[in-house]
Each structure stands twice: as structure tokens, then as C-alpha cells.
Amino acid sequence: MDSPALAKASRRKDLLAVRRTLTPAEVAAAGADLLTSAEVRPEFQAAGCVGLYVSMGTEPDTSALIEALRARGVRVLLPILYDDNDLGWGPAESGLHPGRLGLTEPAEDLGPNAIAAAELVICPALAVDHAGVRLGRGGGSYDRALARTGDVPVWAAVYPGEWVEALPRDAHDQYVDAALTPSGLRLTTRTG
């Protein structure tokens, strides 16, 4: 039987291959639909502070989510990737600049524990399974960050085909409560 690490690497390779086929128009449309999926949720409507991220490449576009939240006066915390792959967090209103590994990051760093102020966290993923297992890119950054969020809803933004039956899991992997997809929010069995 494959180890979780090998199984994850294989799934990542397959999922990224599918994402590479997406056009910029499909990525942008998915982002607009993510906002539509989120806007109807009471957790999204009530949050005064949201942990989010600036999408890159073929990730579902998060710019509409960020803009809509900021237009409502919601504080948006965005990640800063440290050299040790941990994440700090800063406010979107501090301005954005290029960061490590092609990421776009906020100018102000409030530290790794700032994410605890979020009332909702929307994180990146390559896939989410029905039990709430999130498959990331393999650096462990979000597993560390999500361990600091406390008892707030955590959604992973993915495409509809990335909401899957089951994924391999390591002991350090943090669960998510839902998959935010362009076709709606899919609750994991952790949340009902």
C-alpha cells in the first residue's frame, strides 16, 4: 500500500494537470461564482474579519471575494509566506506586493497568530474530501496556520471536480469544514 506522502504526490500531479487545461476566462468565471456561492452563506455575511488568500495561476480566482468583503468593510487578512514555510498574516488594506514563490502578499505583517482573529477562513486547496481532508501543495503552511484558527469555519476553495470522495491524510493534516466551489458550498461530514 502507498504511503500517504506518495498517494498525495500522485493526486497532486493529476489535479494540477487538470488545472493546467483551464483558460484565464474559466479561472475568472470560477472566481465570480465562488463569490456567488459564498454570499448566500450566513457565516460569510456575518464575518467581520476573514482570512483569505490572493489566488495565483489556475487557482480559483479570489479577487472577487476580496473586493466584495473589503467593499462591505470586512477586514481581510492575507498570508505572508515565511522562509520556514509558516504563514504570517497581514491586512489587505496595507497594500500588496510580490512575495516568495510568486505569491502576492500584504505589506504589513501582523505575525502568525493574527489568523486567530478571523471569524471565517477561506484557504487554497487542490481537493477536499467529504470527511474534510484538504489536499494542499505539500509545504504544510496551511496545516500550521489552520491549527491557530480556533473554532471558526474553514472553507477550502476548489473547483467542483476537486470535491472528492476520499483523500489520503497524514496525522498533521488539518481538516476543513467545507469546500467552497463555483457551484456551491459543500459541507463536509465534520459540519453536517
Instruction: Please tell me the predicted confidence (pLDDT) of residue 126.
Output: 94
So what's the pLDDT on residue 191?
66
Fold of 4-187: Rossmann fold (3.40.50)
All 3 cell numbers of residue 39?
454570499
Residues of the chain with pLDDT under 70: 1-4, 138, 191-192
Q: Where are the domains of the chain?
A: 4-187
What pLDDT, on the 0 to 100 scale, is given for residue 2? 58
Q: Could you tell me if 112 and 143 are in contact, meaning their C-beta atoms sit under 8 angstroms apart?
A: no
Q: Which residue is it, cell 471569524? A: 119
Question: CA angle 103-104-105, nearest 5°?
Answer: 110
Give the per-residue pLDDT at 41: 96
